[in-house]
Homo-oligomer: A and B are copies of this chain.
């Protein structure tokens, strides 16, 4: 993909060569990797597929805290806290590497390179959370969705036949909107031929138009 160093210090081969025990895991759509509050024994790297990190509000409403793609890390909060801070659920058939947190801890104390890699991703996570805060705090539904679609596409080399395993409720839980509203906007985007969708595949037809909407031009309504 875009960044070969994406696994630097944390790719399975390298870790195994350091006598770290790395378990390969495959899971299907909907599988729960861990639940929020579970005591944290393992961390994971996502090798293929997609995973959502979720929390729930008191009333049971689900909120998606982060979406993970190939190369992302999850469960690493266990390096500092005893329990997982979110639930992790596979959105699509996925492959992961499971790392023992205790071993990882030791390794990271010995190897600056591993430390660096973890810190790097941590930084990325913080960055992306802050971006979300801006999106949620300052943009309207259309703009949020447009931004999201473009960002999603960035994780793939092409604009056509993108894997898109998110349901409408998932999108809603990520964007802070109602399912119906998301559905309406997606329909709008399709009517305007900005995107196309079929059986879990997405195609970005008019990235520029989406980018315009994502920028939230004032008074530039769809129509």
Contacts and interface: CB of A to CB of B under 8 A. Distances in A.
**Interface of A, helix, strand, loop or mixed by DSSP:** helix
B61 A123 contact: no
The residue in A85, A119, A120, A125 that gathers the most chain B C-beta atoms within 10 A of its C-beta is A119
B130 A85 contact: yes
A200 interface: no
B218 A59 contact: yes
Contacts of A136: 133, 136-137, 176
Contact of A176 (B65, B77, B127, B137): B137
Contacts of A81: 123
Interface in A127-155: 127, 129-130, 132-134, 136-139
Contact of A80 (B86, B119, B133, B139): B119
A145 to B, nearest CB: 13
Contacts of A125: 126
A216 B109 CA distance: 43
